[in-house]
């Protein structure tokens, strides 16, 4: 500790142990309240380095802290914690680096073999505040198994009149569970001069649920931070939100998801967050009470643009029960862009993908879906604009779009006074939804790019022709000589021909030779060969009664022809009506060729 009357650097603290237990407001601290030795030699509060083989427990308001005091000049030290087991922090305990004076905050690096668990308003915090000049520190958490946050916070922020940027937060674990009104945040509050930091979450299974928030916000005219979530499954449910936002002249940051498995956004069970749960006053979080989903927005007082959201998803995306993916500008700026690339996309029960603006241009939505887009129960894909803003464009490339009938599922790019956006759809088939004005609740599924007072947009639906039998084919131009064809027929291998047969599905058929009656051994009826030469088929039912199909011909002595229900062999005199002398003539012609 360097007190207010002293100058110089604080001492480092290094501790190696089997286990570490801090309870009842116990503290490990390395602070500086004094001044630097000289302007060219900025003092530093000491670093804290803990190497613990077993479990670390912090309870009942205990602290591990490196801090620069309010009137001091210097940088906060770094905190490094490593354990092969677990770190558990409960009941308001804290791990923090903080600069309230003229200097930067320190970094926090925690590496654990098993799990980190923060409960009951516990805190990991890298901060600059007051009139400090310098960046807040970063927070890096590397966890072998589970990171769990319940009614607790992980923060890197600037507040008060601080000048500097918030630090980044990086969390890597097999399972990341942010639940029960918890917060992971890099933000720059009103009155500060600096941008929000970036957030990276990486895990095989990630859950943000029960009113919890992951945000990178600015309220001071600077840029919002970016949020990147990567790994396997991600579920955002029951009031969980991921949000970037900017106020004043700043633009909101981007949200990027890179997942190998499913994304689930489900608003069922969302309840309002307690007003004092985070002890923060961001308006955007108040506006998102009971909301669930991904949000990249700019506030009503902003001239900046909404951020972008990009989702690369290995399997399925399901959005339901008021869940939403949204980029919007509530002020004068333009809406952001939404890009989604996934196997299938399912929207159900008032789910929405929206890029909306109050007065600027609506953002674009680009959906590339390998299989099917399903729309059910008042779901919507929208790039709307109010006021004089123009609607954004919607571009969809998929196999099928299926909208369940009579459920108010819409794809819209419409406006009030500006130009409607363009809707371009490429799909093998579009089912249950058609182009027409959308006027909910009209109980129809509509594709609408209209403007109430301005120019309408365009709707283009392209369904590629997949019938390979259709189209142009180039025919051969060579001339076939009749003599050549006759020669080929007469010189054919009669032995090979004799072994050939013709299989016909159903009744009837043709003779196995041009002058012979039908041979039943060469006929397959529904997959079975018939050996009966005399079987008479059943009569056929018609509107005129039963009709017996003819199967033979009989010629009487007076030349009358009688059709018979049984087969007849008339090959003796005139096979198939051809005189024997004509047959002999054909054979002689073949022998001469």
Provide the pLDDT for residue 578: 44
Q: How far apart are CA 47 and CA 142, in angstroms?
A: 19
Q: Which DSSP symbol is given to 520?
A: G
Q: Distance (Å, rounded) from C-alpha 314 to C-alpha 574?
A: 73
Q: What is the pLDDT of residue 143?
A: 98
Residue 305 pLDDT level (bands cut at 50, 70, 90): confident
Beta bridge partners of 294: 242, 325
Give the separation between CA 12 and CA 45, rounded to whole angstroms.
Answer: 8
| Mean local confidence (pLDDT), 396-405 | 95
pLDDT for 292 equals 97
Give dist(CA 282, CA 243) in Å, integer: 12
Nearest to 382, CA basis, from 394, 368, 372: 394
Length of the chain: 593
Mean pLDDT to the nearest integer, 189-204: 92
587 band by pLDDT with thresholds 50, 70 and 90? very low
pLDDT in tens, 403-428: 999 899 999 988 877 777 899 999 99
Q: Among residues of the chain, what percentage have pLDDT more than 70?
A: 75
Q: Which pLDDT value is given to residue 7?
A: 54
pLDDT at 468 over 50: no
Residue 341: name the closest of 367, 372, 363, 365 by CA: 367
Q: Where is mean pLDDT largest: 73-82, 271-280, 355-364? A: 73-82
Spatial distance between the Cα atoms of 530 and 524, rounded to a whole number of angstroms: 7
CA 82 to the chain's CA centroid: 36
Angstrom distance (rounded) from CA 116 to CA 147: 5
* Residue 283 phi, psi (nearest 5): -65, -35
Q: Virtual CA dihedral for 481, 484, 490, 491, nearest 10 degrees?
A: -160
Helix (H) or strand (E) holding 428: none
**Residue 35 pLDDT:** 55
Which of the pair, 496 or 98, is modelled with greater confidence?
Answer: 98
> So what's the pLDDT on residue 280?
61
Q: What is the pTM of this model?
A: 0.77
Percent of the chain at pLDDT exceeding 90: 46
Residues 6+ apart with CB under 8 A from 589: none
The 10s digit of each residue's pLDDT in 43-85 is: 677 899 999 999 999 999 999 998 887 777 778 889 999 999 9
Q: What is the pLDDT of residue 82?
A: 97
What value does the CA radius of gyration of the chain take, rounded to a whole number of Å?
40
- What pLDDT was estimated at residue 263? 97
Q: Looking at the predicted structure, is the pLDDT value of residue 582 above 50?
A: no
**How confident is residue 224, by pLDDT bands cut at 50, 70 and 90?**
confident
Distance CA 37, CA 356 (A): 54
Which helix (DSSP H) or strand (DSSP E) does residue 13 occupy?
strand 13-17
Q: Indicate the average pLDDT of the chain.
A: 81
**For residues 480 and 401, which has the higher predicted lDDT (pLDDT)?**
401
Stretch 549-568: mean pLDDT = 73
Q: How many CB atoms lie within 10 A of CB 559?
A: 6
| Element holding 113 (H helix, E strand) | none
Across the strands, what pairs with 546?
541
CA distance 279 to 152: 12
Choose the most confident range, by mean pLDDT, from 390-394, 476-480, 531-535: 390-394
Q: Answer with the residue of higher pLDDT: 248 or 424.
A: 424
Which pLDDT band, with edges at 50, 70 and 90, does 291 fall under?
very high
**Residue-wise DSSP of 552-574:** EEEE-TTS-EEEESS----TTTS
Task: Please list the alpha-helical segments (H only) found in 249-384.
Answer: 283-287
């Amino acid at each position: 500790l360097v007190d207010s009357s002293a100058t110089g650097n604080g001492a480092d603290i290094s501790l190696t142990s089997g286990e570490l237990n801090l309870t009842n407001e116990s503290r490990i601290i390395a602070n500086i309240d004094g001044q630097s030795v000289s302007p060219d030699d900025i003092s530093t509060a000491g670093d804290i380095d803990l190497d613990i083989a077993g479990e670390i427990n912090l309870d009942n308001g205990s602290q591990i802290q490196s801090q620069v005091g309010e009137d001091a000049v210097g940088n906060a030290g770094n905190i490094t914690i490593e354990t092969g087991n677990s770190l558990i922090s409960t009941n308001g305990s804290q791990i923090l680096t903080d600069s309230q004076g003229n200097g930067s905050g320190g970094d926090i690096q925690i590496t654990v073999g098993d799990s980190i668990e923060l409960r009951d308003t516990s805190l990991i915090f890298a901060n600059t505040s007051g009139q400090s000049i310098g960046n807040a520190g970063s927070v890096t958490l590397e966890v072998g198994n589970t990171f769990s946050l319940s009614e607790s916070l992980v923060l890197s922020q600037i507040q008060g009149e601080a000048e500097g940027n918030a630090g980044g937060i990086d969390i890597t674990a097999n399972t990341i569970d942010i639940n029960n009104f918890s917060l992971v945040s890099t933000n720059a509050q009103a009155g500060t001069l600096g941008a929000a930091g970036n957030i990276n979450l990486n895990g095989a299974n990630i859950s943000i649920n029960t009113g919890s928030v992951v945000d990178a916000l600015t309220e001071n005219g600077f840029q919002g931070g970016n949020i990147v979530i990567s790994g396997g499954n991600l579920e955002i449910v029951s009031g969980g939100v991921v949000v970037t936002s900017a106020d004043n002249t700043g633009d909101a940051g981007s949200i990027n998801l890179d997942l190998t498995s499913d994304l689930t956004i489900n608003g069922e069970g969302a309840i309002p967050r307690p007003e004092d749960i985070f002890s923060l006053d961001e308006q955007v979080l108040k506006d998102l009470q009971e909301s669930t989903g991904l949000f990249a927005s700019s506030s009503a007082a902003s001239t900046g643009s909404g951020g972008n959201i990009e989702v690369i998803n290995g399997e399925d995306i399901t959005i339901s029960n008021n869940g939403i993916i949204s980029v919007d500008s509530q002020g004068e700026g333009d809406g952001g862009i939404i890009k989604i690339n996934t196997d299938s996309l399912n929207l159900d029960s008032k789910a929405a993908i929206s890029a909306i603006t109050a007065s600027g241009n609506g953002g674009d939505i680009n959906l590339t879906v390998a299989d099917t887009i399903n729309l059910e129960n008042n779901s919507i894909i929208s790039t709307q604009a109010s006021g004089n803003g123009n609607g954004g464009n919607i571009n969809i490339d998929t196999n099928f779009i299926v909208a369940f009938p009579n459920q108010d599922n819409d794809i819209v790019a419409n406006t009030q006074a500006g130009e409607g956006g363009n809707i371009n759809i490429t799909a093998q088939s579009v089912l249950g939804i058609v182009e027409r004005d959308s006027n909910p609740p009209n109980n129809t599924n509509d594709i609408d790019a209209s403007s109430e007072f301005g120019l309408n947009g365009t709707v283009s639906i392209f369904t590629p022709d997949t019938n390979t039998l259709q189209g142009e084919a180039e025919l051969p131009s060579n001339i076939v000589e009749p003599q050549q064809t006759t020669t080929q027929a007469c010189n054919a291998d009669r032995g090979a021909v004799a072994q050939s047969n013709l299989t016909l599905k159903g009744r009837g058929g043709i003779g196995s030779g041009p002058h012979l009656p039908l041979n039943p051994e060469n006929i397959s009826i529904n997959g079975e060969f018939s050996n009966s030469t005399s079987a008479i088929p059943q009569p056929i039912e018609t509107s005129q009664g039963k009709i017996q199909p003819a199967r033979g011909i009989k010629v009487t002595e007076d030349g009358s022809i009688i059709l018979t229900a049984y087969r007849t062999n008339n090959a003796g005199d005139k096979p198939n009506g051809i005189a024997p002398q004509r047959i002999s003539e054909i054979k002689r012609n073949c022998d001469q060729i």
